[in-house]
Amino acid sequence: MTSLNQASSYPTIHWQEGGVDCSARWRSERGAAVPKKVMLADDTMSADTAYRLACEGTALLWRGDFQNARQMLQALGRRIDQSASTDRRGRRPRQTGFKDVRHSPEEAAAAAAKGFHVHRQAQAQRARVLGMVLLSFDGEYGLSLRRSPDARLACSQAWGVAPEGEGASVASMRELLGLISAFEWRKNGVEVAALGEAPNNRIHPYYGVFSPLRGEYVGLVATAPLAKNMAALTAFDIGTGSGVLSAMLVRRGIGHVVATDMDDRALACAAENFAQLEVSASVDLQKVNLFPEGLADIIVCNPPWLPARASSPIEHAVYDEGSVMLLGFLNGLAAHLTPKGEGWLILSNLAEHLGLRTRAELLAAIESAGLRVKAHMDVKPVHAKSADTTDPLHAARAAEITSLWRLAALEPTAVQ
Out of 46-50, 123-127, 270-274, which region has the weakest mean confidence (pLDDT)? 123-127
CATH classification code of 190-409: 3.40.50.150
Position 108, amino acid: A
Q: In the structure, what pLDDT confidence band is assigned to residue 102 with cuts at 50, 70 and 90? A: low
182-196: average pLDDT: 93
Q: In the structure, what pLDDT confidence band is assigned to residue 325 with cuts at 50, 70 and 90? A: very high
Q: In the structure, what pLDDT confidence band is assigned to residue 213 with cuts at 50, 70 and 90? A: confident
- The predicted pLDDT at position 95 comes to 46
Helix, coil or strand: residue 185:
helix
More confident residue, 366 or 306: 366
Q: In the structure, what pLDDT confidence band is assigned to residue 6 with cuts at 50, 70 and 90? A: very low
234-261: average pLDDT: 97
How far CA 147 is from CA of 63, 70, 75, 151, in Å, comes to 12, 11, 19, 12
Residue 278 has pLDDT above 90, yes or no: yes
62-83: average pLDDT: 95
Residue 120 has pLDDT above 90, yes or no: no
More confident residue, 101 or 301: 301
The pTM (predicted TM-score) of the whole model is: 0.87
Residue pair 345/327 in contact by the 8 Å Cβ criterion: no
Q: How many helices (H) and strands (E) does the chain have?
A: 12, 15
- The predicted pLDDT at position 86 comes to 59
83-112: average pLDDT: 62
- Measured CA to CA, the distance from residue 392 to residue 385 in angstroms comes to 10
Out of 80-94, 235-249, 285-299, 304-318, which region has the weakest mean confidence (pLDDT)? 80-94
From edge to edge, which strands make up the β-sheet containing 133-137? 12-17, 20-26, 169-172, 133-137, 58-62, 37-41
Position 172, amino acid: S
Domain-wise residue ranges, the chain: 12-185, 190-409
Mean pLDDT estimate for the chain: 89
∠ CA 189-192-196, nearest 5°, is 115
Instruction: Write the pLDDT tens digit of every residue in 241-254.
Output: 999 999 999 999 99
More confident residue, 133 or 391: 133
- The predicted pLDDT at position 414 comes to 42
Q: Which parts of 6-104 fold into alpha helices (H)?
A: 47-55, 66-85
Instruction: Output phi, psi for 256, to 5 deg.
Output: -145, 125
Tell me the percentage of the chain whose pLDDT exceeds 90.
Answer: 69
Residue 7 has pLDDT above 70, yes or no: no
Tell me the percentage of the chain whose pLDDT exceeds 70.
Answer: 91
Position 46, amino acid: S
- The predicted pLDDT at position 2 comes to 42
Closest by CA to 290, choosing from 258, 256, 322, is: 258
- The predicted pLDDT at position 375 comes to 96
E strands, 355-400, where? 371-379
Instruction: Write the pLDDT tens digit of every residue in 376-401.
Output: 999 998 877 767 777 778 888 888 99
How far CA 146 is from CA of 42, 71, 142, 150, 404, in Å, comes to 11, 14, 12, 11, 51
Closest by CA to 188, choosing from 208, 173, 204, is: 204
